Structure 1
Amino acid sequence: MGFSIKIAPGVRVRASSRGIGASVGPRAARVHVGGGRTGFSTGIGPVGYYTSAGRRRGGGARTTLAALERQARAAQKADEYDAVARAEAELVSVHLEEFQPAVAPVVPAPMPVDEKALRRTLRQQAREGISWWKFSARSLARKQADERLPAAIQEETARRADEQAATQTTADIEWALLASGDPHTVIAALEAAFEDNASPAAAVDCTGASATVVITIPPPSMVPERKQATTPSGAPTLHKRTKTERNDLYIQSLASTVLATVKEALAVAPSLKEVAILVVRQDPAAARPEDYLAAIYAGRFTRDRLAARNWQQVDPVAELLLAPSSMLHRRGQAGEVTPLNLTAEPELAAVVQQLRANLTS
């Protein structure tokens, strides 16, 4: 018998027949002391490993608690080092995702009728209301159900075929509307495609061959403060990013997100020949109220221009800046991304104003 209690994050005290003990650190690198021995454990998921710090067989130096703590700190730093790499990769590789182009839907053929299941159902229906001791009546009902089985199979087969045909007709109509550029259908397809995007996106306008999509992204604080580096001896470590480095990574993330959104829009809506993008930034730390929700990028992307791209070799930032009608403002030596001046762009200004109104309504 025993019990344990958590007294602080990463610190747990336990009591058992062997005495009082404690464990310190995350599951990936935890030091155990007390209870007659000291040890170190590590585990990820369902798998764990434990080693005792006691004297090795044959005589060996006892591992000190300080050494175990150093191991724990090293393991924690390794986790942090890898986490920074994963976070950075996720920010700048969104555009590498491939989206399957929409094709005319084909409704699967109906499933064949399960003869045994249908016979069982017919027999159950035929025996309903007949007492179990009326053997003759139940036998007759069963015989009648079996006689009806061939006709029932034909009826169910015909019903399923009619249902499949009706579903296919509906799908054909929807596809015709999508392929011809019906604005309502195109916007609905884009909304469905954007539902699971990490950066919220919404189609706000469509003329059939062209759609306007608004993407909302967070402020530069989304960028990890630290980056991977190495010590003079070559050991992996983390260094703080400069403002310039953070702004550069922010632009790369912005570009990757824009290109991914454009690729997805062109994939799900075959009628689109152009996607106009407006990126707005929602920043609670903005210095001015009007900058809480502000446009920071605008550009147009055509299907023909992107069709021949090798996405593994594309420079997302270059694509962002070279897009027709592109607008992006950066300020100072650190290259801070600042809100656009939309005085000469009344249509874009109206979209931003409507977005602000939606936030307060």
Structure 2
Amino acid sequence: MSLSIKIAPGLRVSASSRGIRTSMGPRAARPHVGAGFSTGAGPITYGTSLGGRARSHAPRTSLTALERQARAAEKAAAYEAVGRVEQALLSAHLEEFTPATAPVLPAPTPVDPKALRRQLRRQALEHMPRWRPRDRATARKQADERFPAALQEETARRAGEHAAAEAAAEAEWAQLASGDPATVIAALEAAFEDNISPAAPIDSTGSAATVVVSFPPPTAVPERKQATTPTGKPTLHKRTKAERNNFYVRALASTTLATAKETLAAAPSVKEVTILVVRQDPDTHKPEDYLAAIYVGRFQRQRLATLKWNQVDPVAELLLAPGAMLHRRGQAGDVLPLDLATEPELAAVVAQLRADL
């Protein structure tokens, strides 16, 4: 017997005699797990399994009882999965990013005298036949005589390599701190490598940077939300279209602010970062909207440094940002593609992104 329920596009909970599974993401990328949890492809993926294989000696249970147990476990797993997705989408801006600082390299590893002496002897005896003991003894003696000079040479070599590495690190830091565009872009690329929502720097002038963020379409928002029954039991209620769109904007704001924070942490010379958010929407009715800009705004270091992030309204910060553009329509508040006619540079970026698909 198996039961299955869809709680959002790409988010499904299934129950069978083997346990409960929750999966997210496109069909080809869904994880299939037994116990524990795993992640897979897509903006966010999550999988978990409850229960286990039935034991052969377990007492038989009626089909109706099994159905009740499966449905209860299914609802519990779905409730938990929705909560995890909501938390991931709405809490990105709360992450703290360690500011970049001048590198401090560890001291070079000291030479191990015993290991070096063994190495010298081994090299001296490498091609010396064992049936020539006197020659081997002479080779060992010569290796021992060579040891003091070799120890000094190896110590000097390691010190030289360390000094060269320090000089290179200091030079790179000086370039980053002074706002060298290539160095700033390289630092941001490294910082964004593990982001859930892909981000990429496209420009830097030293004190300013422009970053593109790829954000999923509204279908990433779970169709259902956590709620409680009149008796206080956890349950899921379907979101209205307006609720889904409002949630979507909150998630968009959280991700955008997190990207701005990460940019300013990774690039100390940058005082202002322009964030351009684009989305790929395969359900659009207009080909030009398949990849379109949905938000743009500038975020200033001075402003973000004063915020108490656990009290911030992400949407308010999104809209208060200088040059903020966010197009919503109707009572449901649909987020529509931006008209970048007055922003030719950003329009060119979007056009290039479309051409690269």
In the superposition, the TM-score normalised over structure 2's length comes to 0.85
Aligned counterpart, 1:306: 304
User: Following the alignment from structure 2 to structure 1, what is the Cα–Cα distance between the partners of residues 119 and 68?
Assistant: 70
Change beyond 3 A, Cα 1:109–1:315: same
Q: What residue is the counterpart of 1:117 in the other structure?
A: 115
- Which structure has the larger Rg? 1
CA contact (8 A) 1:113 1:153 kept: yes
- Which residue does 2:230 correspond to in 1? 232
Kindly report which structure 2 residues correspond to 1:66-85, keeping only aligned pairs within 5 A, or say none.
Answer: 66-85=64-83
Match of 1:100 in 2: 98
**Aligned ranges 1:267-282 → 2 under 5 Å:** 267-282=265-280
Distance 1:24 1:339 in 2: 43
What is the alpha-carbon distance in structure 1 between the residues aligned to residue 232 and residue 238 of structure 2? 17
Task: Please point out which of 16, 19, 31 is paired with 1:27.
Answer: 19
- String of CA shifts for 1:255-314, please: whole Å, max 9, x gaps: 000000000000010000000111111111111011111111111110000101111111
Deviations 1:315-351 (A, max 9, x none): 1111001111111110111100001111122222122
Deviations 1:200-234 (CA, angstroms, capped at 9, x unpaired): 11111111100111111111011111111122222
Counterparts of residues 4-153 of structure 1 (less than 5 Å): 24-28=16-20, 44=36, 54=59, 64-153=62-151
Distance 1:126 1:137 in 2: 10
Amino acid at match of 2:355: A
Task: Single out whichever of 158-167 and 117-126 deviates more from structure 2.
Answer: 117-126
Structure 1 CA distance for aligned equivalents of residues 50 and 148 of structure 2: 57
Aligned length: 322
Q: 2:204 aligns to what? A: 206
- 1:157 and 2:155 aligned: yes
Which digits, 9 at most, give the CA deviation of each residue in 1:41-61, with x for residues without a partner? x9658997778654xxxxxxx
Taking the aligned partners of 2:213 and 2:107, their CA distance within structure 1 comes to 39
Aligned pair in 2 of structure 1 residues 266, 43: CA closer, same or farther (>3 Å)? closer
Report the secondary structure of 2:309's partner residue. Answer: coil
User: 2:18–2:51: 8 Å Cα contact kept in structure 1?
Assistant: no
**Deviation, structure 1 residue 116:** 1.8
Runs of 4+ in structure 1 deviating by more than 4 angstroms, as ranges, are 7-10, 42-53
Sequence identity (%): 66
Report deviation, 1:65: 4.5
- The alpha-carbon distance between structure 1 residues 227 and 204, as it changes in their structure 2 partners (threshold 3 A), is same
3-state SS in 2 of match to 1:199: coil
Structure 1 counterpart SS, 2:341: coil
Report the counterpart of residue 344 of structure 1 in structure 2.
Answer: 342
Gaps of 5+ in 2: 5-14, 22-33, 38-48
Aligned in 2, Cα 1:126/1:9: closer, same or farther, shift over 3 Å? Answer: farther
- Greater relative CO (CA pairs within 8 A, separation 6+): 2
* Residues 19 and 50 in structure 2, CA contact (< 8 A), matched pair in contact too: no
Distance 1:314 1:159 in 2: 53
> What is the TM-score with the length of structure 1 in the denominator?
0.84
Deviation at 1:142, TM superposition (A): 1.4
Query: Which runs of no fewer than 5 residues in structure 1 stay unpaired?
Result: 1-6, 11-22, 30-41, 55-61
Aligned AA (1:27) = G
Of 343, 347, 353, the match for 1:355:
353
Q: CA deviation at 1:28?
A: 4.8
Answering whether residue 243 of structure 2 is matched by residue 251 of structure 1, we say no
Q: Deviations over 1:6-43 (max 9, x none)?
A: x9999xxxxxxxxxxxx9434359xxxxxxxxxxxx96
1:186 and 1:306 map into 2 onto residues whose CA distance is 19
Aligned to 1:312, the other structure's residue is in SS state helix
